[in-house]
Structure 1
Amino acid sequence: MRIGLFATCLGDTLFPDAVRATALLLSRLGHELVFPPEQTCCGQVHINTGYQREPVPLVRDFAEQFGDRAIDAVVMPSGSCAGCVRHQHRMVAERYGDPALRAGVAAVEGKTYELSEFLVDVAGTVDVGAYFPHRVTYHPTCHSLRMLRVGDKPLRLLRAVEGIDLAEMPEADACCGFGGTFAVKNAATSSAMLADKVDRVMSTGASVCTAGDTSCLMHIGGGLSRIRSGTLALHLAQILAATRTSPYPLSEAAR
């Protein structure tokens, strides 16, 4: 398939390794990648904060960059951004857009996927040939779980990874407390939720906490780092991209 890769803002600025891992994984599975160079933000931060007219140019840009009929699917390493494109872009276009924007949004939303749902539902694969001989626990992010309803797809992919020791996290579906600007506007509540999540991660004895959203991993990883836990926060794509011939350098990353 010909896949348009959307890096996302956090991926571009703070987690480029997760984007590179996504590209490496999809290429290894035989897909042709297209990376529109003019791609920007999906506009989620504006929409979630109540500024729904302001992201119209961003929504239009996304539709123009990825609406090419030659692109079979748009894939991104983010459940929240995929949820924004699939559900919130239409809302913005209907309220503040013109007919061209509404048509563009309609053309692209149906072929937009978060990484795990693309792999399982579209590519029809669970075993991606990954090798990751470490103890890992998985955090199901709120948008992927509740908006996209990816279910157990990330776990199915992880269970097929060679060498992995997958540890179930207690109360895994509880929010980590990030929530975008929620963590800024409600810092005390956010910090309390994060403390609970970090405790649950640590209870598994895992050396890695993984998720499908870099935003949650930024939040959880910060909490783990501040207590010097030694547990890393890694995107799902980074685990799935690791192989026997090209393993993830966990010992070096932990330094």
Structure 2
Amino acid sequence: MSDLKAFYDGFSQAVQSLEPDAYPQELAPDNAHRFAIYRNNVHRGLCDALAAAYPTVEKLVGKAFFRELARQFVGAETSRPGSLALYGNGFSDFIAAHETVASLAYLTDIARLERARLEALNAKDAEPLSASHLAGYEDVLGAMQLHAHSACRLVVSDHPVLSIWTAQNVSDSPKNIVTQDETVLITRPYMDVKMKLLTRGQAAFSAAIFNDDCDVETACEIALAADSAFDITRGFADLLVCGAVDARIITDTGVSA
């Protein structure tokens, strides 16, 4: 068993290596060129998967440079999902630490946005919370702790990430981008990924619920502190309409739905 493990470990390390002459020690030297072809095919497939997962990042840096980033990422990453559909987790952190593109501060958050879109697209199905679920619970609504739907993601950025993404992907979108922070709510109503730019109050409300596990009443207080014009009723309704909340509700009063 130990010999078999050593073989698999060596094979895996050689496949991941960026050295063109790398091959498993257990492999006969005469087969090194065949292994090189196999390794190159694996790397190409992973690079293609990364490009498919982060198309806007590729547009921003160019195909050739993205290919080099992808090649380095493939050689550096240590864990992979079982499906190529979700390949590339950690790419935003890789970009943030990369000395060549570290100065492009917004690029990391563009990668985070695209990763969130990918996760939302591939998330498991679950019933979203609707107004009908809340019938009869009006008196305890403020104490409820809501949970994000499995296909809901919240991306908080110091950069205009949605504006940049839209400028790159929507042909008739404005190209003059205002430098500002943006918070984006990503959901998948009716199996179609949607992105919604949140106001400061909506962003504070959503972050309090989904990131900080606040109850609805506390989240409303936080939202109003961030934006005195925040419309509580509309802000709550918006989350329901876009399918951002899981239908399973747990409150600190013990009520569940």
TM-score (structure 1 length as normaliser): 0.26
Kindly indicate which of the two structures has a greater share of residues assigned to helix: 2
TM-score (structure 2 length as normaliser): 0.26
Larger Rg: 2
Work out which structure has the larger RCO, using CA pairs closer than 8 Å and 6 or more positions apart in sequence: 1
